[in-house]
A and B are shown apart, each in its own frame.
Chain A
Amino acid sequence: MKRGPAAVEFHRVVKRYGDVTAVDDVSFTIAPGELVTLLGPSGCGKTTTLRLIAGLEMATTGSISIGGLDVTRRSAAERNVSMVFQSYALFPHMSVVENVAYGPSVQGVRKARAREMAMEKIALVGLEGLEQRAPSELSGGQQQRVAVARALVLEPEVLLFDEPLSNLDAKLRRRVREEIRELQLSLGLTVAYVTHDQEEALAVSDRIIVMSNARVAQIGAPRELYEAPVSCFVADFVGAANLIPAEVDKADGELASVRIGPCHLKLAHRGIGPGKAYVAIRPYRVSIGPPCCGNGELEGHVSKVAYVGDHLEYGVRISVPAVELIAIVPEPMQAFAKGAKVAVKINPTSAVLVPADQA
């Protein structure tokens, strides 16, 4: 039963509940030893995808393989996969050590040996001394560690996390996600990790699968998603983005000439043909200043100003094209009041062309 971390492969997997399609034609591969995040808004099918890996849901069509073995029709108990649940799902009638030893003991491992295995993992997550406690006597963070230890104890081929941080407070979240990442790297685990928090996803993942409306929107490394989103949805979901309607005139080599209102620029065309498109700019890359030269600038006025401590957040209403931009400016040399006329300059290195179809 014991094998190293294994690859997970989804091939055209569809999951339907009656008329509702929860997962629609999803294909991807998770390489052994890789941490892949399933990211998306609630209801996008990411948790269903995770449960399909676990065998807690059965695919309607398509195939799933783990470690090269087709497991599409195998029940959860027959797959070498463990899961850390959002609610942790610790058995309330068992102590910490009984919880962790549950896996081996139901596999028929002798009691003493199962306990030994459990103690080893309890030590790994740093909970020695608490093994006789009931789950209800532990703090949220400790319960989470028990859940991780319990999932690790069988040394599964794949470890699944279903929003493991959602029940922790903000400060703890940061620390625990770093611990999970360290654990994954040091043990070389294959991990699938569900979250709706893009920051969390960017911080821990080797690769991210962004899902939207039951489909895969984009798969890629964090930097890829952030800097080269393939759709407006991804651009906006993975770190907020300003989406400005634009017109692609013609593609010329790597670059395309793009028109945004009165302003013309050259951007990498990334396979987008002539026609309508969007230009995505991250809020903190929007540079605003007093209107000066008129060329290559978008004119507008400040519609909102918010002081957020270490930076200012401006809302800028552009007149042509009619759009409202968010600009995040580190404590500026020059502050603008609400209603002030400003110009937005678009730097080609900080803007990305995004296709229009999914706006």
Chain B
Amino acid sequence: MNRTPRVLAATGLLAYIALPWYTIENPSLTSYPFGDEGTALGLAIMGTWWLLPLALPLLLCLCIALRNRPDESCAEWLAVLGFVGFAYLLAQGFAVGLHGWNAEWLNALFGAPGPKQQGMGFGALVVGVALLFLGCRGLAGMGWCRGDTFIVSSIGAVGMLLALFVFYPVATILTSAFTDDKGQMAIAPFVEKITDSSIWGLKCLGNGVACGVAWNTIVLAVLTAFASTTLGLAFALIALRTKFRFKAPLRVMTVLPIITPPFVIGLALILMFGRSGAVSGILFRTFGVVPTRWIYGLTGIFIAQVLAFAPIAFLVLVGVVQGLSPALEEAAQTLRAKRLTIFRTVTWPLLRPGLASAFLLCLIESMADFGNPLVLGGNFEVLSTKIFFAVVGAATDQSRAAALSIVLLLLTLIGFAVQQLWLGKKSFTTLSGKGDPGLLMPLPTSIRLACYAVAVPWLVFTFAVYAIIFIGSFVKAVGRDYTPTLASYEIAFRVEHTSFGWFFSGSAWPSFFATVEIALLAAPLTAAIGLLTAYLLTRPDFHGRRALDFAAMLSFAIPGTVVGVSYILAFNVPPIEITGGALILVVCFVFRNMPVGMRAGTAALAQIDKSLDEASLTLGARSLTTFARVVLPLLRPALTASLIYAFVRAMTAVSAVIFLVSAQYNMATTYIIGRVDAGEYGVAIAYSAALIVLMLVVILLIESLVGERRLGRRPAMSNVAAAPT
């Protein structure tokens, strides 16, 4: 047994004795170490008796570690003490709340109101980490995972993080939906809330009353998914099977949705087709068409979402079309089938699973989308916006938000499950890595013309949308006054030279700096946890690997609005109270985006022979060294991809963060939405345009440095869709 347990136990004990146990609002040291800023030991002496038992496992572990005999029973003791201690730490945190016991049965058992405490702070964190790692060290000593401390500890850490930041918030949403105002378990109100007519009502079929919000969501999602998949297929066929001369714009189109904040397209549509929009204005002047509000509602959201998600379908389907072996079509050709017949009888059936996969992906994206419905919704409500207004609206109703979240979560999870379980196995495409001989067959003329007819106008439309954002940011007011001006940029990004030096006085700067700061913090963490999880999922064999995989993917399938609500419910109260700062934003980004790093990592690791790691191990390198010196260098492309993705997503995300931003940490996207709300379109589009250009520069810069070529908004899903798992 080496030094690790001694260091861990000593650190834990030190934190127990010397670090403030609870979170501190304003550090002043006046009440250290016995008052509000007290250490665990100090507080335990002063009467916080439930912290006293925590000293025991730490002390015992230290004794065992100091005896230092390579003995298996020592390892067993470490494992038991570590995990029991950790469990107790969590248990006391959840049992003793801000206002007394957290559960009815504790009230009944020990009498209300019981002891009180705040959220866990730095001391609790260090003690918890020490105990968890001591337990993992113990398990490694018992021969778990080939006796590898690094692996066991990583599994422990990643598992714990996922439990805390993915499962726990979801569980909180569920319990909050099941309980009434008084904290009692209530099934009937829950059923009532879930089946409410405002969610599932079908009155709209008969008369003019609005339909249930769930139906709105589903109808919108199906329409969007259908249109996006059709367009995506047309683009994919054109890109791979024709001599179309404008393939470069197609490629650009695949990058745009990654770097475009989700609501920007909605914004552009308003600028074009709104009542004072550019196109509306032209129509009014030339044809006398009176501008209406038709863009607000189902039609508008539909157009915006198709603009946003068709490129995603394209990315998935390019993989599928590429994966079709030309030999199959050539075989049909030698059997004297005509080109159209081949397309109908061979190509199309082989494409079908991929199409279904793209369809479901767009379906999920559409249901989870928040930015476009928020900007364009008007009176047309979908689940994600309804959840938002249930939390921040005039009538705040958290349990209603929870119930709506559960409905949305169930819908996306069903789509996700179908995509993963059913289609994952059904795909016909094979990516063997061997070059398939044979020539790709050109499309039959009728199909080719149909593809052009669908794709070309849409491509033009897409570029018009982006053009209006850039043009709009440089004129006085789109649709009314096209005098060129830099006014919008000046308001947003003014920098003044004062006697105190440079002063960033533009209104966008605070949110811009906050966003960059958070994105820079989140990106490396996201990539690190994602790649570490990928390593754990592909290399060591351990029980619960599937569970880990599932948990990691789950955090991907949960819609952003649901994450936002669940984080508020879970982390606004002790024991883990982290809302209102930068921390919760970073945590949110890390766990929402890490599955991408994870998927990129697993795909890359599958290409790297396991015996490389083993060779390193037998040469005396521990897993940590092996990971750093052999695995990581070979994972460079995956690392770059997840870094870019994590950074860009953190800059552009809106759905989850809109619940989590604070005055100090306002994000760029939420600031822009605020401007749209206030009708300041100029500033909003100037800021959006600046973000898009900035992100484009960042991506091109990193790509030119590393040579990574393509990156999907959800490359993970496109991998899943393209390769049978």
Contacts and interface: CB of A to CB of B under 8 A. Distances in A.
B433 interface: no
Interface in A54-110: 54-58, 72-79, 81-83, 85-87, 89-93, 102-103, 106-107
A57 to B, nearest CB: 7
Q: What are the nearest 6 A-B pairs in CB distance?
A: A89-B611, A89-B615, A76-B617, A103-B619, A75-B147, A106-B621
Interface in B230-284: none
A77 B633 contact: no
A150 interface: yes
B634 A93 contact: yes
Nearest to A80: B620
A107 B629 CA distance: 13
B147 A55 contact: yes
Contacts of B619: 82, 102-103, 106, 150-151, 154
Interface residues of A, number: 32
A278 to B, nearest CB: 40
Given A56-B614, A89-B614, A93-B633, A103 B146 contact: no
B143 interface: yes
Nearest to A79: B618
Among A79, A106, A107, residue most surrounded by chain B Cβ atoms (within 10 Å): A106
Contact of B141 (A55, A73, A76, A151): A73
B616 interface: yes
Among B143, B612, B615, B630, residue most surrounded by chain A Cβ atoms (within 10 Å): B615
B147 A73 contact: yes
A77 B615 contact: no
Interface in B606-655: 609, 611-612, 614-623, 625, 629-630, 633-634
Interface string B137-160: 000111100111000000000000
B72 interface: yes
A73 B72 contact: yes
Contact of B614 (A74, A83, A92): A83
A90 B141 CA distance: 30
A75 B4 CA distance: 15
Given A55-B147, A56-B614, A106-B616, 15 more contacts: A56-B617, A58-B147, A73-B72, A73-B142, A73-B147, A75-B140, A79-B618, A83-B614, A85-B615, A87-B611, A102-B616, A102-B629, A106-B619, A106-B625, A154-B620
B633 A55 contact: no
Among A75, A83, A160, residue most surrounded by chain B Cβ atoms (within 10 Å): A75
A154 to B, nearest CB: 6
A76 B610 CA distance: 14
B147 A89 contact: no
A57 B620 CA distance: 15
24 contacts: A55-B618, A56-B617, A58-B143, A58-B146, A73-B147, A75-B147, A75-B148, A76-B146, A76-B614, A76-B618, A77-B617, A77-B618, A81-B618, A83-B615, A86-B611, A87-B609, A89-B609, A89-B614, A92-B634, A93-B634, A102-B621, A106-B619, A106-B621, A107-B620
Interface of B: 72, 140-143, 146-148, 609, 611-612, 614-623, 625, 629-630, 633-634
B4 to A, nearest CB: 13
Contacts of B612: 89, 91
A336 to B, nearest CB: 49
Nearest to A76: B617
A54 B611 CA distance: 12
Interface string A33-49: 00000000000000000
Interface in A116-159: 150-151, 154
Nearest to B75: A73
Contacts of A81: 618
Interface of A: 54-58, 72-79, 81-83, 85-87, 89-93, 102-103, 106-107, 150-151, 154, 160
Contact of A77 (B609, B622, B630): B622
Contacts of A87: 609, 611
Contacts of A73: 72, 141-143, 147
Contacts of A74: 147
B614 A103 contact: no
A91 B621 contact: no
A74 B615 CA distance: 16
B540 to A, nearest CB: 11
Nearest to A83: B618
B628 to A, nearest CB: 10
Contacts of A86: 611
Given A75-B148, A77-B622, A55 B611 contact: no
A73 B74 CA distance: 13
Contacts of A83: 614-615, 618
A86 B619 CA distance: 16
Contacts of A93: 633-634
A86 B612 CA distance: 11
Nearest to B633: A93
A57 B617 CA distance: 12
Among A81, A92, A154, residue most surrounded by chain B Cβ atoms (within 10 Å): A92
A24 B441 CA distance: 55
Nearest to B611: A89
Contacts of A106: 616, 619-621, 625, 629
B68 to A, nearest CB: 16
B662 to A, nearest CB: 44
A178 to B, nearest CB: 24
Nearest to A71: B147
B139 to A, nearest CB: 11
Contacts of A154: 619-620
A76 B540 CA distance: 13
A75 B611 contact: no
A85 B147 contact: no
Given A74-B147, A89-B609, A91-B612, A82 B629 contact: no
Nearest to B625: A106
Nearest to B630: A91
B604 to A, nearest CB: 13
A126 B623 CA distance: 31
Nearest to B622: A77
Contacts of B140: 75
A193 B141 CA distance: 29
Nearest to B621: A106
B140 to A, nearest CB: 8
Contact of B147 (A78, A92, A107, A150): A78
A90 B609 CA distance: 10
B617 A75 contact: yes
B146 A75 contact: yes
B6 to A, nearest CB: 18
Contacts of A103: 619-621
Nearest to B629: A106
A303 B251 CA distance: 68
A128 B514 CA distance: 57
B134 to A, nearest CB: 18
Contact of A57 (B146, B148, B616, B629): B146
Nearest to B615: A89
A140 to B, nearest CB: 15
A92 B611 CA distance: 12
Contacts of B141: 73
Contacts of B623: 77
A93 B608 CA distance: 12
A89 B615 CA distance: 6
A183 B616 CA distance: 23
Contacts of A92: 634
Nearest to B618: A83
A72 B71 CA distance: 12
Contacts of A150: 615, 619
A359 B72 CA distance: 43
B621 A77 contact: yes
B394 to A, nearest CB: 58
A92 B191 CA distance: 59
A74 B1 CA distance: 10
Contact of A56 (B142, B146, B625, B634): B146
B143 A77 contact: no
